[in-house]
Copies of this chain bind each other. A is one copy, B any other.
């Protein structure tokens, strides 16, 4: 909200690729520290900085670096600055993160593109086969219908459930802003749903649509799935459930380009593109040091700090677990930051608040 004559303000936004995810976090940490130095205040604790630039591609080198530098990285607590604050704008301390694994699917049709008039009732269409496969994975309420999908989940503790019940529920307002009439989840709210494993279609493609479309039977149809995991899920076991489901729909599953012999034998073929994933992690809400962080963050805000057992998004926390590190996530970005998509942005007010938050945590006694 700008006043006449103002040239900047807290609601201004900086638009840039990764402006909120995760340049905002890096800058909040560095500027928060710089503020302490400039104002000649000493941090209350020893601070080690650790920045990683490969998280969006699955952090392929993080494990090697962390495990190779155990002594250097020894610490009482890791504070991770990633993800958004609560939709209410209230600051947030997050005790865990969902795990994540992507699965690429390619369904095969005729080996070369065919005229849809001359072959359209006869040659099988891979876009239809993929649509039928994806449609079989969820019911009309968005609940995953893959056998055993919700098994393995470790229930929330009483304290975690209590924290969850205190999370402000802004679902109606967010839904209105996002302009859709019915949420998935059969009436459960967003905070509850985030504590369950999920399956999302990130993207889907076969030939072309709209002005680029042609009257063809496509040769392939592709989709990319995103599976989020909660405590108790194992990413390889979760992918195995999806694969079993695909097989039950009558598909032959391969991880290679199918051979002519396979194409001649199996009416429906899916090629699975394997991705590396990782499991969810969660720090106990009973940990005294964690509660000290909540108090420190609370000191910078008149609004209650929201405490959530897990973020909906994912972080490779399992890597830090390997060196017995305890982690807490303290995010700074606005919730409506379009992360991972076009027009990603950081709200200037959030960046500023984030610096204060980080400086306050550095002053822990």
Contact = CB atoms under 8 A, between A and B. Distances in A.
Interface string A96-111: 0010101010001111
Contact of A134 (B116, B128, B194, B263): B128
Nearest to A21: B115
Interface in A327-348: 335-336, 338-343
| Copies of the chain in the assembly | 2
B196 A121 contact: yes
Given A183-B124, A210-B224, A341-B216, A117 B312 contact: yes
A117 B280 CA distance: 12
A205 interface: yes
A7 B85 CA distance: 70
A137 B128 CA distance: 9
Contacts of A335: 118
Interface in A190-226: 190, 193-194, 196, 198, 200-210, 212-218, 221-224, 226
A218 to B, nearest CB: 7
Nearest to A258: B179
Contacts of A248: none
Contact of A121 (B117, B142, B266, B339): B142
A204 B206 contact: yes
A40 interface: no
A233 interface: no
A231 to B, nearest CB: 15
Nearest to A181: B267
A125 B181 CA distance: 12
A218 B209 CA distance: 16
A340 B183 CA distance: 40
Given A117-B311, A203-B209, A207-B204, A181 B222 contact: no
Given A121-B193, A128-B134, A341-B113, A214 B202 contact: yes
A interface, size bucket: 35 or more
Q: Which of A108, A113, A171, A311 has the most CB of B within 10 A?
A: A113
Contact of A215 (B83, B100, B176): B100
Contact of A115 (B120, B183, B313): B313
A301 to B, nearest CB: 21
A196 B194 CA distance: 48
B181 A264 contact: yes
Nearest to A138: B128
10 contacts: A112-B341, A119-B312, A122-B142, A122-B190, A122-B193, A124-B182, A134-B135, A202-B213, A208-B224, A210-B222
Given A120-B226, A121-B198, A124-B142, 20 more contacts: A83-B118, A104-B210, A111-B177, A112-B338, A116-B202, A122-B142, A128-B142, A130-B204, A135-B136, A140-B250, A179-B263, A182-B267, A200-B217, A202-B208, A202-B214, A204-B205, A210-B273, A214-B341, A216-B340, A216-B341
